[in-house]
Structure 1
Amino acid sequence: MTRPRTLIIAEAGVNHSGSLDTALALVDAAADAGADIVKFQTFNAKSTAGRAARKADYQHRTTDAAESQLAMLQRLELPQSAHHPLIARAKLRGIEFLSTPFDPLSLAFLLSLDLPRIKIGSGDLTNAPLLHTLAKAGATLILSTGMATLGEVEEALGVLAHGYGGSKDAPGIAAFRAAWRDPAARRHLAEKVSLLHCTTDYPCPPEDVNLAAMQAMRTAFALPVGYSDHTDGFEISLAAVALGATIIEKHLTLDRNAEGPDHAASIEPDDFARMVSAIRNIEAAIGDGIKTPKNSEIRNMPIARKSLVAARPLQAGDVLGPDDIASKRPGSGRPPIEYWSLIGTTVTRPYDPEDQI
């Protein structure tokens, strides 16, 4: 069976640094590189982070260490008014617009835009009210699972199953677990939800990637799986596709040396285009799993394979013994598997050495 085409997401994220012009340029860069989707982040800084929230170590390294997380987010916030020109540019360039909400108001805003799908980041996998609201709205979802255990992913899917299934039971832990056990509710998940494996570190060292966990989620939950890549370069994304990822998300930046929390874990447009090309080649190479000669091979079969030939001069009436027969190219004659069938038979005409028998 032919695998689905990999959905490639260019994660512009906050690499626009609050500039609409830069965000528009990222849409263009994603389209030029061959991405299917360009993704941003939609948040109200004050609704997302409290004054006491500290920055991650990688954010300290890549931004002003004295700046609070709230101040950083306020500087990187993309206003709701900027979404409309971005969506228009994406439509013009033939690429899908996607965003991740980080608070209820931002989710409501994105739902009002009637986007094809919503992406929820790893930090909100345990944010049950946000997940439940999204599921009740019937939105198609890509859910990142960084920092999570398999059990936490299952809990999140129970919340979603309850919301998608329209359960009459009031939301709560028991109701979510019951929804997870309900085959009808699980069918809603299969129609609406894809999971992304990722490791929440920027950039992520290869030894912390654990791509096998992506495969474990596919087995455990019978849902489409993909990989959100925070490593340097893009070779891990290629490995993920070879292992069955149907979605790849990779940060895109116009300049890896720019100031900001995510540029260092991003790739620039030329590398993004190379990644897209490599993924398409891998998809083509995986094929349908049926082991049979391809057309490009068939013409080489007579050249590469061998036929049974006379190993020495033979006369009519000779009885063939093991030393009378050899296997040599070309493969246009009797195949070598018939070697034992010829032993002990009598030849009916003369053969010169290397004549096909």
Structure 2
Amino acid sequence: MKKVTIIAEAGVNHNGSIENAFKLIDAAVEAGVDYVKFQTFKSENLVSKSAKKADYQIENTGNSEESQLEMLKKLELNHKKHQELVDYCSKKNIKFFSTAFDLESLQYLKDIGLDLVKIPSGEITNLPYLRLASKLFSQVILSTGMATIEEISDAFNVFTQAGISKDKITILHCNTEYPTPFEDVNLKAMLTIKNQFNTEIGYSDHTLGIEVPIAAVALGATVIEKHFTLDKTMNGPDHAASLEPHELKAMVSAIRNIEKSIAGDGIKKPSFSEQKNMAIGRKSIVSKRDISAGEIFSEDNITVKRPGNGISPMRWDEIIGKKAIKDFKQDELITVEI
């Protein structure tokens, strides 16, 4: 089984502070994730002046007056700060990753050495963006929140027509509501994506807790993306629907255990660890009472008890009616001539 790639989505949970961003990287390292991911954008290139905030953004920021542009300006990291994050990730031996939300930012991420691109859900219907991404990057993670299967297909085709092979594309099932109600997760849609496109699948999670991404791994997800924060009570659009560091660590541990649990060959047989239990947990045919040599075995003088290192009870019909070849004490394992 392919190892699950776990992406810890710091996003904009640094609140514009490079110090907070460093702490998020430290937490990601401690949790044992594969990537720590941020968001790269020029606010003016991302939203218009009139763009409104989503309901969850209003609720989580406690500000219904500011525009989406004003909110994002506070969360934007310039190129100098990005380079500091790249350097800090290198120092901490964790992979830096980021999602670009505009064309200029796509090019910037390529320029600083990224070969893997993450297409956010909001850009899946942005053809100019998809085309540039297909020219710049050789590996793709495509998030599909708000998308129909037809829209996913259109975006997928942009990359395959650009020469990117299916084995370099991972499609993430996603719901963009923060937090996502459990009844809206529709995790089976991830399997529909797998069947439709015959490519790697994953799940970008915005539910509360860690149950759903763990379930996604059990269903075959090879990439998991999950938002995390230093403190859920911090002011900002995404904190409330994010994991705190100890929860992120618990999710990683659970996913790694699930990986081990589903990595077998699928053949139903006693495992190595349980073979020693067979003699203890199973039963054998034993004497119900003292039996004399020559006596005929019957339900009156034999029974079934542990341990299981004698004649299997599945041979019961074969043993009934045979003669005892020797004297047997009560509870003694029955033996017969071969």
User: Normalising by the residue count of structure 1, what TM-score does the alignment of the two structures yield?
Assistant: 0.90
Residue 323 of structure 1 is matched in structure 2 by 300
Match of 1:98 in 2: 97
Equivalent in the alignment of 1:37: 35
Q: Is the 8 A contact 1:143 1:194 kept in 2?
A: yes
Secondary structure of 1:295's aligned partner: coil
2:140 paired residue number? 141
Structure 2 match to 1:340: 317
Aligned counterpart in structure 1 of residue 221 of structure 2, from 235, 241, 245: 245
Greater shift, 207-216 or 306-315, is seen at 306-315
- Structure 2: segments with no counterpart, 5+ residues: none
Contact 2:6 2:224 in 1 (8 A): yes
Residues 7, 247 of structure 1: 8 Å contact kept = yes
Q: Report 1:44-193 matches (<5 A).
A: 44-63=42-61, 64-163=63-162, 165=163, 188-193=164-169
Tell me, in whole angstroms, the C-alpha distance in 2 between the residues paired with 1:197 and 1:107.
22
Contact kept, 8 Å, 1:15 with 1:262, in 2: the verdict is yes
SS at match of 1:303: helix
2: CA distance, partners of 1:286 / 1:196:
20
Q: Which residue of 2 aligns with 1:178?
A: none
Structure 2: distance between partners of 1:148 and 1:323? 70
- Answering whether residue 330 of structure 2 is matched by residue 353 of structure 1, we say yes
The total of aligned residue pairs comes to 332
Off by >4 Å, runs of 4+ in structure 1: none
- 2:191 corresponding residue in structure 1: 215
Summarize deviations over 1:160-207 as a string: whole Å, max 9, x none: 1112x2xxxxxxxxxxxxxxxxxxxxxx43221101111111111111
CA distance in 2, matches of 1:312, 1:116: 76
Measure, in 1, the Cα distance between the counterparts of 2:246 and 2:319.
61
Contact 1:227 1:248 in 2 (8 A): yes
* Corresponding residue for residue 230 of structure 2: 254
Whether the 8 Å CA contact 1:325–1:339 is kept in 2: the answer is no
* Contact 1:307–1:331 (8 Å) recurs in 2: yes
- CA positional deviation for 1:325: 2.5
User: Structure 1 vs Structure 2: percent identity of aligned residues?
Assistant: 48
Query: Given the alignment, which residue of 231, 237, 240 partners 2:207?
Result: 231
What letter matches 2:242 in structure 1?
S
Distance 1:330 1:201 in 2: 56
Question: Unaligned 5+ residue runs, structure 1?
Answer: 166-187
Letter in 2 for 1:254: L
Query: How many angstroms does 1:301 deviate by?
Result: 1.2
Matched, 1:296 2:273: yes
Distance 1:324 1:287, change over 3 A: farther
* Offset from partner CA, 1:229-280 (integer Å, 9 cap, x none): 1111112121112222111111111111111110111111111111111111
Q: What is the one-letter code of the residue matched to 2:160?
A: A
- 1:121 is displaced (CA, Å) by 0.6
How far apart in 2 are the matches of 1:127 and 1:203? 25
Correspondence for 1:172: none
TM-score normalised by the chain length of structure 2 = 0.94
Which residue type is aligned with residue 148 of structure 1? Answer: A
- Asked if 1:271 is matched to 2:270, the reply is no
Aligned 8 A contact 1:132 1:162 in 2: no
Superposed displacement of residue 116, structure 1: 4.1
How big is the shift at 1:68? 0.5
RMSD across aligned C-alpha pairs, in angstroms?
1.4
Contact persistence 2:143–2:173 (CA under 8 A): yes
